[in-house]
Chains A and B, each alone.
Chain A
């Protein structure tokens, strides 16, 4: 296991289309996070899972966004009816839950461009 992986790495879509991204965390990590990073900004938290349960969602996660982690392993992030403002890098991170300090390991991200 070489770390967190994300697919696809790049996605170009037309406004109004649906897109889905996948994140595979480090195998023993039970916590998984999604962040969005727009140009010139730091990553912003979207949501996170502990095992298959989605425990927190940011107000940034509009109704067009849905995230799942059905078996507590990989996760998908779907954006419906994409808008140009959705263009960003979508980052996934995973961590353990042992103790208070749980380093988050990041994937390479999926860069979304909405035309």
Chain B
């Protein structure tokens, strides 16, 4: 069975600084996707960034980038130039690479941004 582990229940960062959220996963599959989702307080979950397992290049979306280490089964999220609006729960998720499949989530990391 696939598992996703986020070992940092809470993180804090100063506005304009950089923060890295950690995620490890376990799977025997070779074809899968990894995601980071953001869930602001009382608002719906939105996709921040995704990574295809077959791609060696790390995904980047504006201030968000990942460090994907396939052999180590590690998938960390780096947020650069942190903004107050980045404060939220961040969930790491795994999904099988086929056309069907539900997401398997970690327990989440609560990110606070200090002004």
Contacts and interface: CB of A to CB of B under 8 A. Distances in A.
Interface of A: 3-4, 33, 35, 40-45, 48, 50, 55-56, 58, 91, 97, 99-104, 106-109
B61 to A, nearest CB: 13
Given A42-B93, A99-B99, 11 more contacts: A42-B105, A42-B108, A43-B91, A43-B103, A44-B105, A45-B102, A50-B100, A100-B97, A104-B47, A108-B43, A108-B44
Contacts of A104: 47, 103
A77 B84 CA distance: 36
Contacts, number: 53
A106 B44 CA distance: 6
A41 B103 contact: no
Contacts of B103: 33, 35, 43, 45, 104
Contacts of A45: 102-104
A91 B91 CA distance: 14
Interface string B39-56: 000011111001010000
B85 interface: no
Interface string B88-115: 0001010001111011111110000000
Interface of B: 4, 33, 37, 43-47, 50, 52, 91, 93, 97-100, 102-108
Residue of A101, A104, A108 with most chain B CB atoms under a 10 A cut-off: A104
A56 B33 contact: no
Given A42-B106, A42-B108, A43-B105, A102 B45 contact: no
Contact of B33 (A44, A48, A101, A109): A101
Contact of B47 (A55, A103, A108): A103
A35 B33 CA distance: 18
A3 B44 CA distance: 10
Report the 8 A-B pairs with minimum CB-CB distance, sorted nearest first. Answer: A42-B105, A45-B102, A106-B45, A108-B44, A106-B44, A42-B91, A43-B105, A42-B107
Given A43-B103, A44-B105, A99-B99, A109 B52 contact: no
